[in-house]
Structure 1
């Protein structure tokens, strides 16, 4: 278990645009150093944002249509020539597989996390 990180202020948290998104497209990403997909996410901002996501333990069909929690304003990051615009949140299970975080109930696409 990693140690706790240094304390952040509420203002630090409030600057993050964390919201519910819906996975609308999943593409292979063979150029990525670590096994990854290019994942298109509808975040309710009238456009699809893209992420490089190391979630290949899921079949693409299992991700399509799923609701995810993501951070939309970390800024673009170039990953193997691909612009990743948002971060899909996840955690590892006991076996080391990435588990994508999502709501337990139906929530509107674009809804803010607080």
Structure 2
């Protein structure tokens, strides 16, 4: 594992946002959703997320997530992903979302 400095960590913008739209992403190589996430004053950003194993469209709508919002946009097939939703892999490979346990304002920065 490569160590980083605290200053390097501070450069990563991990922000809370609310999922406001979820669409299937059949063109993705692995099963995924196309998400629109409201980050408050930062605006709405799009993300592709491989979270179809544990989460339905209905379950994701209105859910707050934690995402990296200061990576450059990345082309994922025909879709431009503007942020990286965070999650943890279970032993079976399914992704468990990292999300606040209580509501916080959209755009809140990880402290």
Same fold by TM (over 0.5)?
yes
Post-superposition offset of 1:107:
1.2
Query: RMSD of the alignment, in Å?
Result: 1.1
The equivalent of 2:82 in structure 1 is 85
* Residue number among 25, 29, 34 corresponding to 1:29 in the alignment: 25
The equivalent of 2:66 in structure 1 is 69
Residues 42 and 107, structure 2, Cα contact 8 Å, conserved in 1: no
TM-score (norm. length: structure 1): 0.91
Structure 1: distance between partners of 2:82 and 2:41: 13
TM-score (norm. length: structure 2): 0.93
- Structure 2: segments with no counterpart, 5+ residues: none
Number of aligned positions between the proteins:
110
- Structure 1: segments with no counterpart, 5+ residues: none
Once the two structures are superposed, residues 6-32 of structure 1 have per-residue CA deviations (whole angstroms, 9 ceiling, x without a partner) of 101111111111110100000111111
Q: Does 1:17 align with 2:13?
A: yes
Moved over 4 A (4+): none
* Residue number among 84, 90, 98 corresponding to 2:95 in the alignment: 98
